[in-house]
Chains A and B, each alone.
Chain A
Amino acid sequence: MTDFRARVFGYNRKAKPDEELHAILEKIPVFEGFSPRELAALGRVLHKREYLPGEVIIRQDEPGLGMYIIQSGEAAVISGRDDVQLSVLGDGDFFGEVSLLDETPRSATVVARTHCLIFGFFQSDLFGLIERDPRFGVKIVIRLAKILGDRLRKANVQVLALTERVHELNAPAPR
């Protein structure tokens, strides 16, 4: 019966938890320390996608809908008119987590360099989780808020340092 359901609907709820996926999710700051039950609930809403080498995963300036987690493969982050390569992402790396809260346009393009297996977690999935399991949904949102708070603090420190540097440069040279 389960085999039949799995064949017809392409899924099997009684299947063993995807340990490989759980191991990847646990390493991502947003999902760090989540219980196996929570990781399993998360795993059920993730979208598994397959990208061939050269295929664009996300495109700069298009709406950001959510985050992607690389299970296996390599992807290049490219930005600007000249397509400058900013970094290369590999197994277990993730990108676009801010889009879970804010649908601003993507700031860079990500292209698969090798055959990539990727999991997508989108804003609509997060809202669905909040509706079905508010405690768990809010846990993810708070985690995201903390990450954004940390980044904002770091950005503030950098802005402060740069401002001081500008003041130093603008200060009249001692006679």
Chain B
Amino acid sequence: MIPTVAPSRPSHELVPLLTALAIAVLLLFLGGAAQVVILSLLLAYILDPAATALEARGMSRTLAVVIVVLTLTVVIGGTAYLLVPAVMDQMGALQSGATTEQAADAIRDIEHWLKGSFSFLGLEDLDLLARIAAFKQSFAERIFAFLLNDSLSLIVNAVTIPFMMFFFLKDGREMKKKLVSMVPNRYFEFTLDMLYKMDMQLGNYLRGQFVDAVAFGVMSVVALWILGVNYFVFLGVFAGLANLIPYVGPIAGVIPAAIVAVLGSGDLNSATPVIIAYFILKLLDDFVVAPAIVASSVEMHPVLVLIAIMIGGELFGILGMLLAVPVAGFFKVVLQEGVSTYRKYRFN
């Protein structure tokens, strides 16, 4: 007969509960640190197949991870090397408040059009040039203040994120095994089963999203370069990142590019080719690139996605908005797989 009384192990039973509680407390009270850990984990998770592929070619895990991390550092470092001078130039121009004659013409055209089309809103006193100059001044001041105040944490993050990512990539398997070993015997197989199925669904989804963002960013850079838009690298990378945010992202990506195109040429019509180019790119992305890259998608209701984006933005700003959808997808898969796997087991 199967004994009905299972051996009690109070300390072991409490481990998952305490772990979950500790994670919740960490997320709530150590927002910044949690952000760094989540980002490092996410990057390690996305890059894991690259390290595994190198391992399959006969390399040790450590060497494979070193190569992956070095490659990523070179790519990010190279992009930053290309971007920083352009961004600094733009900052300088912004702070000096200098506006080119073409840009001033374009702004005057927009002002004229706004006053003509929306006179019923009482826009007679609208002085766009003065308002833009004031906004640019305060914006540039805010950016410099951010760089001065947060430069230390930026440097710390620039070091800690790759450092943590390296160890998550290298020792992640052992860490996961160690965590699973703490699960009580009765829930051990269930946990393994759920983790594996979650990994299958979520891994494909997150990696697909990452590759899709890179592809969209590269396509945007090329399109803006062909159209002769200033700061095409910066704007293209921004569009690629923004594309990670559903619904809002594609619009957020096209607006700065259109504004830069208008201010650069002084012609309102120069926004049209940029908008058309983004429209074509979005179609290409939705119907050609994404179906080929994103193997499985985590279907979520649009309202749920928007709520996740708002919460992410409220808690962690722009990075939070970028991480909101993958994190919401993670919870959805955890819940979905958790429930379906739980049903297969006869827990009392």
Q: List residues of A whose CB falls within 8 A of some B CB.
A: 9-11, 45, 47-59, 61-63, 65, 78, 83, 109, 111, 120, 122-124, 128, 131-134
Interface of B is mostly: helix
Neighbour of B52 across the interface among A58, A65, A131, CB < 8 A: A131
Neighbour of A54 across the interface among B5, B173, B345, CB < 8 A: B5
What are 5 A-B contacts defined by CB distance under 8 Å?
A: A47-B192, A54-B3, A56-B185, A58-B189, A134-B56
- Give chain B interface residues in 147-204, CB to chain A under 8 Å: 171, 173-175, 177-178, 180-181, 185-186, 188-189, 192-193, 195-196, 199
Given known A55-B185, A132-B55, contact A78–B2 (CB-CB < 8 A): yes
Question: Which of chain A's residues has its CB closest to B167's CB?
Answer: A9
Given known A10-B178, A133-B56, contact A54–B7 (CB-CB < 8 A): yes
A69 vs chain B, min Cβ distance (A): 15
Residues of A within 8 A of B7 (CB): 52-55
C-alpha gap A120/B174 in the complex (Å): 15
User: Is there contact, CB below 8 Å, between B344 and A59?
Assistant: no
Query: How many cross-chain pairs have Cβ atoms below 8 Å apart between A and B?
Result: 74
C-alpha gap A123/B193 in the complex (Å): 9
Residues of B within 8 A of A54 (CB): 3, 5-7
Question: Which of chain B's residues has its CB closest to A133's CB?
Answer: B56
* B131 CB within 8 Å of chain A: no
C-alpha gap A109/B55 in the complex (Å): 38
A29 vs chain B, min Cβ distance (A): 23
Q: List residues of B whose CB falls within 8 A of some A CB.
A: 1-3, 5-7, 52, 55-56, 171, 173-175, 177-178, 180-181, 185-186, 188-189, 192-193, 195-196, 199, 344-346
C-alpha gap A78/B344 in the complex (Å): 20
C-alpha gap A51/B9 in the complex (Å): 11
B13 vs chain A, min Cβ distance (A): 13
C-alpha gap A120/B171 in the complex (Å): 20
Given known A131-B56, A133-B56, contact A124–B5 (CB-CB < 8 A): no
Residues of B within 8 A of A63 (CB): 189, 193, 344-345
C-alpha gap A61/B344 in the complex (Å): 9
User: Is there contact, CB below 8 Å, between A49 and B185?
Assistant: yes
User: Is there contact, CB below 8 Å, between A65 and B171?
Assistant: no
C-alpha gap A51/B196 in the complex (Å): 23
User: Is there contact, CB below 8 Å, between B56 and A48?
Assistant: no
Given known A52-B7, A61-B346, contact A83–B178 (CB-CB < 8 A): no
B55, B178, B193, B346 pick with most chain A CB within 10 angstroms: B193
Residues of A within 8 A of B52 (CB): 131-132
Question: Which of chain B's residues has its CB closest to A124's CB?
Answer: B196
C-alpha gap A122/B199 in the complex (Å): 15
Residues of B within 8 A of A65 (CB): 189, 192-193
A48, A51, A59 pick with most chain B CB within 10 angstroms: A59
